[in-house]
Amino acid sequence: QVFKLEDYRPSDFRIPATELTFDLAPERTLVTAELTIERQPGVAAKTPLVLDGDGLTLVSLAIDGEAAGAASFRATPDSLTLRSLPAARSFRLTIVTEIAPAENAALMGLYLSNSVYCTQCEAEGFRRITYFLDRPDVLSVYTVRIEADLKTAPLLLSNGNPGETGELNGGRHFAVWHDPFPKPSYLFALVAGDLATVSDSFETMEGRKVALGIHVEHGKQDRTTYAMDALKRSMKWDEERFGRAYDLDVFNIVAVSDFNMGAMENKGLNIFNDKYVLADPETATDTDFANIEAIIAHEYFHNWTGNRITCRDWFQLCLKEGLTVYRDQEFTADQRSRAVERIGDVRTLKGHQFPEDQGPLAHPVRPRRYREINNFYTATVYEKGAEVVRMIQALLGPDLFRAGMDLYFERHDGEAATVEEFVKVFEDAAGRDLSQFFLWYQQAGTPNVTAKARYDEGARVLAIDIEQSIPPTPGESRKKVMHIPLAFGLVGPDGSDMDWKAVDGASVENGVIHLRKRKHALRFSGVSERPRLSLNRGFSAPVTLSVEENRADRIFLARHDGDLFCRWQALNTLMVEVLIAAANLCRDGRPPDFPADLVALCGDIAADESLEPAFRALALTLPAEADIAREMGSNIDPDAILAARTLLAEAIGSAHAQAFAALYGALDSKAPFTPDSGSAGRRALRNIILDYLAVSSGEASLAARQYADASNMTDRAAALTVLATRHGESTDKAEAFADFERRYRTDALVLDKWFQIQAAAPGPAAVETVRALGEHPAFSLTNPNRLRALVGTFSTANQTGFHRADGEGYRFFAEIVLQVEKKNPQVAARLATALRSWRSLEPGRKALAREVLLRMSSAENLSADLRDIVDRTLA
Ligand code: ARG
Ligand code: ZN
């Protein structure tokens, strides 16, 4: 079945109140739903009521307290249809269903994770609990009563504020929760189990005292300190930056170990993958700490952007996700370093969203059709969706942007809104026409922007020709011209920005060129000297930009651009160019050599104390193999790319061996670990330097020593990664891996790293390694984190292993995906997207990848989730 945006129509019925009673037991949970149903004005009394279900068993049904006659309804696992309804506009339905949380391997609806009952309802999991109008524009006030064993489930949580609690016969007890804010069913949540609680509190700017709780496995309480701190900082930031305060008496976060995604923003009861809650220096890396901070913030920010204002339908998913990602990125930028955050976000965007936008799974930020909504929780909806919001802020400036956001909250609080309504608030607040800009939501594909500058010394004029084009994407062959905001600067010979007197050819305001036509011929007059053009500063628009300029100018920008993002971008572009040329030589069996100016530049950046260490670490990180492949575009040979990348690392490492060794020593900190971004930046720089030293010396001893001496997981895991990727088989390496497994075998999140680091180690033997790890007693196909650590990492972060020339990587991968999909279709479908760029491979690998996609496509009883991905990937 295909769902289409244009088919939206409002529901004929409302459900103003929902009372749920859960009688919890692993194999047989009874769910009693008392729904107040109301016909919408103008809807005829004979209009049937069709409620959504998914695999449900109906136990009983009553209308206004009377058992419904068998002829008056039809119940299937997937729907409940009532044909003869009371004539009154409003009536009560009592629906009892029976479910088995212990058998729920899809991890959607109500399931058990490590003996803890928990829920995941977004997008359409609520219909696996009870029959309902399971769509985001049906908002209801929920009252929930939970009954469970006191012994195994002393903690009973749901949305909203806590109510009555008490003991029952037979060792059972109950708790009632009431959420005064009407919400769609996807925000419903329930947790019941034996967990340890860490409590804290927060006082809002409105003077409301909020009890904060983080609930985790017993013994893990000490690992919640950072998450709790991040939560309080998020609450404060949303007040200061957006004027948004929290609105309930309690805010609870629960960490579970089996979770399909990162986390979920259920009203007042966020449920998290424990990976994004639990951290201490011994078990979590700096990246883990940063992810926790960002995701705690993200879910908290959803309280306003997602919960108070929700989505009319799932086509509007970016309304809450793109906006909330934008908000969490801004939070991190304010809490840490803005430039470093921006570079990191752009790397993620280019690494995940660009390949999606440039391949068979491309779709607009607001899709127009879907078969399986779970497959649209994508980098395009989330990350490109955030970029679109950021562009609005670039177009309007911070004050009008804030005015628009204020208007959004004022106008749409309590509603299920659309993207049109979101953009309208900015048009109204700023008095602008954003209709051309709206194409960013409607057109898929990454726009290409080319630019060429000429300086006329006599006339003191800088002429810039800029052209945009948008490549065709599936179902959209012709594209309209977009409104693209390009932030820019004219960089003078001393590195500072130059002025100009006048400009024509496009509107230019506040350092932003507004592209609105296919071609613009800009003329800046009164430019005293030849400037270097710094374009798309801060990555103001998510486009691929090619500027025709000479190497010397690019090197100059990489050294001097006042915009740190563009400085990083210039260096990165230089590296990519050199690596592509080198990969082509490697493929022909010819030795590449690398330009001395670039190698020297890397040394200078490493040593530049005026730059923060985190920036230097990012600058020195060579483009990933997948990034190089994406920039090459077609006829990809991952082996040649790996060879080129390794040789460049060697060249840089050996050119600066002494300086790097000294820097490595100087960055060695004896101070106790703190997760702040400054310290994390120093560790990042030291660890990238370790990598260069390892690859250029070929000596495993340095990494082995760091592994042994490490006082925190960041340094330990970094050393292990270097041992795995830069050195062949050695006793140092074997011992480190054995030691790691011994130390952490009972700690699932840390053991995931052990699987992950091995799965990422490049080379032809990787398939066998990963296959063997799949037989390891600790491996599990049913725990999404473990599965992603091994198979997800192998298929997305191990180009040479996954794309092995004989196709063995693909075959192994397909076997696993087909096994997983029998239990957890959503996770299998997500894994399968790893094949999305198969068409850009060289012919041999392309044929093998296609074969394996066809094999998956012809497997029996393929789930809708996987079928959708495989078919679109092949189309
Ligand atoms: N709303 C959640 C978040 O981004 C993600 C939930 C995704 N769920 C799903 N079934 N795809 O914060
Ligand atoms: Zn979200």
Atom of ligand 1 nearest to the CA of 321: 4
Q: Is the peptide bond before 734 cis (omega within 30 degrees of 0)?
A: no
Summarize the confidence of residues 528-537 as an average pLDDT: 97
The answer on pLDDT for 493 being more than 90 is yes
Summarize the confidence of residues 177-191 as an average pLDDT: 99
Ligand 1 proximity of 299 Cβ (cutoff 6 Å) = yes
Q: Counting ligands in written order, which one lies closest to the CA of residue 122? A: 1
Ligand 1 proximity of 263 Cβ (cutoff 6 Å) = yes
pLDDT score, position 560: 98
Q: Per-residue confidence at 103, pLDDT binned at 50, 70, 90? A: very high
Q: Per-residue confidence at 74, pLDDT binned at 50, 70, 90? A: very high
Between 510-519, 571-580, 724-733, the lowest mean confidence (pLDDT) is in 724-733
Residue bearing the CA closest to ligand 1, atom 3: 264
Ligand 1 proximity of 264 Cβ (cutoff 6 Å) = yes
Residue of 264, 300, 318 to test ligand 1 pocket, by largest number of atoms within 8 Å of CB = 264
- From residue 115, how far is each of 25, 101, 168, 177, 456 by CA, in Å? 11, 10, 21, 22, 73
Q: Ligand 2 centre from 366 Cα, in Å? A: 15
- From residue 794, how far is each of 159, 500, 517, 786, 851 by CA, in Å? 38, 51, 43, 12, 19
Ligand 1 proximity of 305 Cβ (cutoff 6 Å) = no
Q: Counting ligands in written order, which one lies closest to the CA of residue 373? A: 1
Ligand 1 proximity of 372 Cβ (cutoff 6 Å) = no
Q: Is 315 helix (H, G, I), strand (E, B) or coil?
A: helix
Q: Per-residue confidence at 64, pLDDT binned at 50, 70, 90? A: very high
Report the percentage of the chain scoring pLDDT > 90: 99
- Its pTM stands at 0.99
The answer on pLDDT for 126 being more than 90 is yes
Residue of 261, 303, 319, 327 to test ligand 1 pocket, by largest number of atoms within 8 Å of CB = 261
pLDDT score, position 26: 98
Active site residue ranges:
299
The answer on pLDDT for 284 being more than 90 is yes
Ligand 1 proximity of 377 Cβ (cutoff 6 Å) = yes
Residue 3: in which H helix or E strand, if any? strand 3-4
Q: What is the pLDDT of residues 805-846, one digit of tens each?
A: 999 999 999 999 999 999 999 999 999 999 999 999 999 999
pLDDT score, position 727: 81
Q: Ligand 2 centre from 299 Cα, in Å? A: 6
Ligand 1 proximity of 124 Cβ (cutoff 6 Å) = no
Closest CA to 795 of 818, 766, 775, 823: 766
Summarize the confidence of residues 349-354 as an average pLDDT: 98
Q: Per-residue confidence at 629, pLDDT binned at 50, 70, 90? A: very high
Ligand 1 proximity of 328 Cβ (cutoff 6 Å) = no
Residue of 122, 128, 320 to test ligand 1 pocket, by largest number of atoms within 8 Å of CB = 122
The answer on pLDDT for 238 being more than 90 is yes
Ligand 1 proximity of 258 Cβ (cutoff 6 Å) = no
What is the CA 728 to chain-centroid distance, rounded? 33
pLDDT score, position 729: 86
Q: Ligand 2 centre from 345 Cα, in Å? A: 16
**Rounded to whole angstroms, how far apart are CA atoms 251 and 795?**
37
Ligand 1 proximity of 321 Cβ (cutoff 6 Å) = yes
The answer on pLDDT for 228 being more than 90 is yes
Residue of 329, 373, 377 to test ligand 1 pocket, by largest number of atoms within 8 Å of CB = 377
Residue bearing the CA closest to ligand 1, atom 8: 122
The answer on pLDDT for 592 being more than 90 is yes
Q: What is the pLDDT of residues 435-479, one digit of tens each?
A: 999 999 999 999 999 999 999 999 999 999 999 999 999 999 999
Q: Counting ligands in written order, which one lies closest to the CA of residue 826? A: 1
DSSP-assigned letters across all residues of 133-194: --STT--EEEEEEEEEETTT--EEEESSEEEEEEEETTTEEEEEEEEEEEE-GGG--EEEE-
Q: What is the pLDDT of residues 693-747, one digit of tens each?
A: 999 998 889 999 999 999 999 999 999 999 999 988 889 999 999 999 999 999 9
The answer on pLDDT for 608 being more than 90 is yes
Residue bearing the CA closest to ligand 1, atom 2: 264
Summarize the confidence of residues 591-615 as an average pLDDT: 97
Q: Ligand 1 centre from 295 Cα, in Å? A: 11
Q: What is the pLDDT of residues 364-402, one digit of tens each?
A: 999 999 999 999 999 999 999 999 999 999 999 999 999
pLDDT score, position 728: 80
pLDDT score, position 764: 94
pLDDT score, position 577: 98
Q: Ligand 2 centre from 214 Cα, in Å? A: 19
Q: What is the pLDDT of residues 751-768, one digit of tens each?
A: 999 999 999 999 999 999
Q: Ligand 1 centre from 669 Cα, in Å? A: 39
Longest dimension (CA), the chain: 95
